[in-house]
Amino acid sequence: MTDRDILMRKIATYDFAIVELNLYLDTHPKDLDAHRKLEDYESKSLELREFYEEKYGPIVFRNSPDNRMKWIKNPWPWDLCEGD
């Protein structure tokens, strides 16, 4: 597994916790403990996302000539790790 894959797996782990807490809070909006956990995971994900986007290109697209080239570039999410 490449460094890039390992980093993406860490991001996906935090993002999964975010998705899960977000659904939970839709039906339990007053659970402050869950709110705190969500905020914690959001800041951890953001930190890793900034590092990833700086190194490998955008996860969410923001326009600039440099970003456009990185956005277009392989791998796309369905591509195999080998980068073919």
Residues that bind another protein (CB under 8 A): 5, 8-9, 11-12, 15-16, 19-20, 22-24, 26-29, 57-61, 71, 76-78, 80-81
**For residues 32 and 60, which CB has a smaller minimum distance to another protein in the complex?**
60
**For residues 9 and 36, which CB has a smaller minimum distance to another protein in the complex?**
9
Alpha carbons 46 and 60: distance in angstroms, whole number? 12
Sequence-ordered list of residues with C-beta below 8 angstroms from that of 18, at least 6 positions apart, any chain: 38, 41, 42, 45
Element (H, E) at 19: helix 3-27
**Nearest distance from C-beta of residue 40 to another protein, angstroms:** 20
